[in-house]
């Protein structure tokens, strides 16, 4: 058996060597960092390419991108934005799903001990990698596409930790626009404020980005590098493209940039797919009417004074963002849960692990919760600091 184990280990090392040699150039040996206490995750890839494209030999036309998530403990020269989650927007066929997959594969290769198709790679090992990509149903189990999507999302929210990597692609697209956007908002906020894990969140919901971001100069958020996040753990990024509105054509640049995409350019992609131009033009006109109607609704506000649904210019009502209100309400609720768990222990002095969910492991399971004190407190502190600025 010992000889078999040695041969198996040699076979594995040779396979990793062959795979590393086939990645082409540039490729690099990843730097694996040691975890320091309860520090969160950290991932940094410079000029990362998709491993499958690198092996196939067609990497010459592939656009590589830099990906940085989290904060490296003790680093001096690092990005000023230590966001752990990226909100990714961009056009259809713009390369969002490919970017998500190449990130996941890059992390897997690095933790396997293989070279990575990038100029440099530095990571803190992740304990789990969760993905929610694509759409499918389960007819034999009687589950719709949206039900399968929600079941997988529930698993992520229940078992992810601050040391996990979570990748979600277009969450909420299997139901109505408002329901899907609300689900996406709640899940994204929970990942940022209560779990603190690393991740990518890809979406076509423009209002979702506007709800979680604010512009420093009140200009339009689209493609605005000055946009700051209401969520301090969130960084807005988009896949760049060049658009010719007259010819209904989009040139995909596949370049990851800071900001929010102006549109998903679905009409342009429909025209490129061969949908008759008159239909595309009619769809564009209908879409413009929908956008105008939505903007008119946004101008209508409900105030405590009037209650009529119309805002009075003399009313001076300043409410904290919904995400901050949710954070404080959740903090009070979980503190009560923690108190109840301590009283139920009848004087048991045994301490919970530093990274255990709020309220203790057993109490968290009974409450169907998966939250971490360190993430909640850190999120509130950074939110207050960003609000003051």
Bridge partner list, 68: 44
Residue 186 backbone phi and psi in degrees, to 5:
-65, -40
Candidates 175, 102, 167; CA nearest to 131 is: 167
> What is the distance between the alpha carbons of residues 94 and 63, in angstroms, rounded to a whole number?
12
Contacts of 153 (CB under 8 A, 6+ apart): 132, 168, 171, 183, 187
Question: Cα dist. 338→232, 294, 361, 376 in Å?
Answer: 25, 42, 11, 14
**Separation between Cα atoms, residue 199 and residue 85, nearest integer Å:** 5
Distance CA(31)–CA(195), nearest Å, equals: 25
Pick the CATH number of 18-264 from 3.30.2130.10, 1.10.3720.10, 3.40.50.300, 1.25.40.10: 3.40.50.300
Residue pLDDT tens, the chain, 389 long: 889 999 999 998 898 888 888 888 888 999 998 877 666 789 999 999 988 887 766 666 788 899 999 887 655 445 556 788 999 988 888 888 899 999 999 999 999 888 999 999 999 999 899 998 887 878 888 888 888 888 899 999 988 888 899 999 888 887 877 888 888 888 988 888 888 889 999 988 877 777 776 533 333 444 554 445 556 778 888 988 887 777 767 788 889 988 888 778 788 888 888 888 889 888 888 888 887 887 777 666 444 444 444 444 444 455 566 667 777 777 777 777 766 666 665 555 555 444 444 434 444 444 456 777 677 777 777 777 666 55
Decide the pairing of beta strands 198-202 and 213-215: unpaired
Q: Report the candidate in 239, 233, 213 with the shortest Cα–Cα distance to residue 102.
A: 239
Asked if 376 and 164 count as a contact pair (C-beta separation under 8 A), the reply is no
């Amino acid at each position: 058996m010992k000889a078999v184990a040695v041969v198996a280990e040699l076979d594995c090392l040779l396979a990793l060597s062959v795979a590393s040699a086939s990645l082409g150039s540039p490729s690099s040996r990843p730097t694996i960092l040691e975890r320091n206490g309860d520090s969160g995750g950290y991932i940094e890839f410079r000029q990362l390419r998709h491993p499958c494209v690198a092996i196939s030999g067609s990497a010459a036309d592939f656009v590589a991108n830099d990906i940085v998530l989290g904060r490296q403990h003790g680093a001096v020269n690092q990005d000023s934005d230590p966001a752990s989650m990226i909100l990714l927007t961009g056009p259809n066929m713009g390369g969002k799903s490919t970017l998500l997959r190449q990130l996941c594969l890059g992390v897997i290769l690095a933790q396997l001990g293989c070279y990575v198709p990038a100029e440099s790679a530095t990571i803190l090992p992740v304990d789990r990698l969760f993905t929610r990509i694509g759409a499918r149903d389960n007819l034999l189990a009687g589950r719709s596409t949206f039900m399968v999507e929600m079941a997988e999302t529930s698993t992520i929210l229940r078992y992810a930790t601050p040391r996990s990597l979570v990748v979600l692609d277009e969450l909420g697209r299997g139901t109505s626009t408002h329901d899907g956007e609300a689900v996406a908002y709640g899940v994204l906020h929970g990942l940022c404020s209560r779990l603190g894990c690393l991740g990518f969140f890809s979406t076509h919901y423009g209002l979702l980005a506007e709800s979680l971001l604010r512009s420093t100069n009140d200009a339009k958020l689209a493609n605005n590098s000055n946009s700051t996040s209401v969520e301090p753990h969130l960084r807005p990024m988009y896949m760049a493209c060049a658009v010719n509105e007259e010819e209904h054509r989009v040139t995909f640049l596949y370049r990851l940039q800071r900001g929010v995409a102006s549109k998903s350019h679905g009409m342009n992609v429909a025209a490129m797919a061969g949908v008759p131009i008159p239909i595309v033009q009619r769809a564009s006109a209908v879409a413009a009417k929908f956008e105008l109607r939505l903007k008119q609704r946004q101008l209508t506000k409900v105030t405590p004074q009037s209650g009529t649904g119309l805002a009075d210019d003399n009313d001076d009502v300043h409410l904290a963002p919904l995400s901050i209100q949710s954070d404080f309400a959740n903090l009070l609720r979980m503190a009560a849960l923690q108190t109840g768990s301590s009283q139920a222990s009848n004087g048991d002095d045994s301490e919970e692990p530093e990274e255990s969910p709020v309220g203790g492991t057993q109490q968290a399971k009974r409450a169907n919760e998966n939250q971490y004190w360190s993430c909640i407190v850190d999120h509130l502190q950074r939110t207050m600091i960003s609000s003051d600025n």
